[in-house]
A and B are shown apart, each in its own frame.
Chain A
Amino acid sequence: MSVTAHDDLPVEHNPLASMPHDTHGGISNPVLGMLLFITSEVMFFGGLFAAYFNIRANAAQWPPINPETSEPFHLQVLPVVTTNGVTSYSFVLIATILLITSSFTCQYAIWKIRSDDRTRFIRAMAVTIILGIVFLLMQLTDYAILGNEGLTLSSGTFGTTFYTLTGFHGAHVFGGVIMLSVVLYRGMLGQFSGKHYDAVEGASLYWHFVDVVWILLFALLYLLPGKTPAA
């Protein structure tokens, strides 16, 4: 069913046209509820980002100097970097690519269930979940690497903001993995069809949100250049 709430909007211009709809038009209640929940999550991350930007703006040197190495803290982007014969690893770039891919597989799963192709829907959903789990494992590995280099939650403002922001993002990924797993389980029981897939839509919207937050976080924490006080 592709009845939209506003028939004056051509279907192809209405991004919500293919979302699950009620008999009276409008998006279905659970999907609308999930979208509103996502807006509240935007504000939650807003608070955390506000803290990060504020602390960063007030610091003359960013990232701050690591007291153990007397060098600024460094978040490595590239997977393998060798300096002075020492090789260091970082999984974040691979993890980012995997998470972005998982959004595509998730959307593919949605397209498949919309056309009632349950087998491909289940496969794509399973791949999405696996990618999500691998992302989390890679994050944990990176945490261990950084911890060994002396960056912990109590390593001053840099450690606190880094671990809090990425940690809460990771918690949301974890929640998303659980949600998608429930959807996968219900899908395998045959509870979804081309006409009835509210929960899939809701879970996938949440998953896309989690991905968008990560892209923002990755850009801010890893890619944004630091600053040093003018000499």
Chain B
Amino acid sequence: MHPLRHPRNAAMVGIIFIIIGAIYWIAPSIQGTVNSDDIAAGTTLLVFLGVAMALMAYVLVAGSTDE
């Protein structure tokens, strides 16, 4: 039995990384620390990772063999 019946649910895994990216982007300003110059690189990579993970999870679940 496939643990996830709907591929759309599998794509939710990408949301995790986008949320982590959002926290990473916003948290320094909330905390009031000096803005680290290099936040942009990490945020970009985390957001792209979220997109890529969602795509991967979707095609793996949707494309799996019938059980």
Contacts and interface: CB of A to CB of B under 8 A. Distances in A.
A24 B66 contact: yes
A78 interface: no
Interface residues of A, number: 32
Given A43-B49, A50-B45, A54-B40, A38 B55 contact: yes
B33 interface: no
A53 interface: yes
Interface string A39-75: 1101101110111011011100000000000000000
Interface in B1-32: 2, 5-7
Interface string B41-66: 11111001101110110011011111
A8 B9 CA distance: 14
Mostly helix, strand, loop or mixed at chain A's interface? helix
Contacts of A217: none
Contacts of B62: 4-6, 14, 16, 27
A219 B4 CA distance: 36
B22 to A, nearest CB: 15
Contacts of B64: 5, 25-26
- Closest 5 pairs between A and B when the two form their complex, measured CB to CB: A46-B48, A27-B63, A25-B66, A50-B44, A54-B41
Interface of B: 2, 5-7, 37-45, 48-49, 51-53, 55-56, 59-60, 62-66
18 contacts: A5-B63, A16-B7, A16-B62, A16-B63, A26-B66, A27-B62, A27-B63, A32-B60, A36-B60, A38-B55, A39-B56, A40-B52, A42-B51, A46-B48, A46-B49, A47-B45, A54-B38, A54-B40
Interface of A: 4-6, 8-9, 14, 16, 22, 24-27, 31-32, 35-36, 38-40, 42-43, 45-47, 49-51, 53-54, 56-58
